[in-house]
């Protein structure tokens, strides 16, 4: 059983996929991954694909340890699990001020669902208990998902020795480099590839970044 070296805990819209790919680029010069027209980064994290599937109607049906045989050295997860407490991996989580939740939600829905609210609602409901799921609709969806952002962030903070990464810091190339150095995965040989990737990502996300900076001022 081999545990990932690094696990990034990040919610939709907080740039976990970007950071995951930045880690891959600096460690292996992986340049094939692109940023799409909406500014979304494609990724191949095993844990991200599986961490929501372990839930069925609000109940955990299997452990994340089940997927360790296929785990990569660096993984990203939306959901924190109590079993993580005993794992030897280095944990990081993307932190954000609550004042940014509205714009994070909007960014997530546009990037992932193309602003199709019905699709976003159905995706949100699929892991909830039936008693909760049937109550979610267009009139209360924003309130429900905003509450989820706060709840999941509080759970990330339960992970012993997990280090917080300020979401806004990811917009600074110098701060991204500092994060990768802290992770002990920095390789200067791949710095130019990382810079190209970061620049493209910033360009595709410019409208969101401007709004976030205004709120953060």
Phi, psi of 91 (to 5 degrees): -110, 135
pLDDT recorded at residue 182: 97
* Torsion angle in degrees (nearest 10) through CA of 82, 170, 178, 195: 130
**pLDDT above 80: residue 10:** yes
Q: How far, rounded to the nearest angstrom, does the alpha carbon of residue 215 sit from its chain's CA centroid?
A: 21
Which domains, from first to last, does the chain contain? 6-216 (3.40.50)
Half-sphere exposure of 115 (CA within 13 A, CB side): 1
Q: Which tens digit of pLDDT belongs to each residue from 104-136?
A: 999 999 999 999 999 999 988 887 888 889 999
Contact 198, 19 (CB under 8 A): no
**pLDDT above 80: residue 28:** yes
Q: Which tens digit of pLDDT belongs to each residue from 44-66?
A: 777 777 776 776 666 777 788 88
């Amino acid at each position: 059983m081999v545990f990932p070296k690094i696990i990034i805990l990040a919610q939709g819209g907080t740039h976990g996929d970007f950071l995951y790919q930045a880690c891959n680029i600096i460690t292996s010069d992986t340049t094939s991954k692109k940023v799409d027209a909406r500014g979304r980064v494609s990724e191949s994290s095993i844990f991200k694909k599986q961490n929501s599937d372990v839930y069925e109607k609000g109940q955990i049906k299997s452990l994340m340890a089940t997927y360790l045989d296929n785990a990569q050295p660096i993984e990203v997860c939306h959901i924190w699990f109590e079993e993580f407490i005993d794992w030897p991996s280095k944990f990081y989580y993307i932190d954000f001020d609550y004042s940014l939740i509205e714009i994070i939600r909007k960014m997530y829905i546009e990037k992932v669902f193309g602003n199709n609210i019905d699709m976003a609602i159905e995706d949100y409901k699929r892991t909830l208990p039936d008693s909760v799921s049937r109550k979610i609709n267009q009139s209360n969806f924003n309130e429900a998902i905003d509450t989820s952002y706060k709840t999941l962030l509080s759970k990330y903070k339960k992970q012993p020795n997990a280090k917080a990464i300020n979401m806004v810091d990811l917009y600074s190339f110098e701060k991204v480099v500092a994060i990768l150095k802290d992770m002990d995965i920095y390789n200067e040989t791949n710095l130019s590839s990382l810079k190209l990737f970061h620049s493209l990502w910033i360009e595709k996300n410019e409208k969101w970044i401007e709004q976030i900076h205004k709120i953060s001022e």
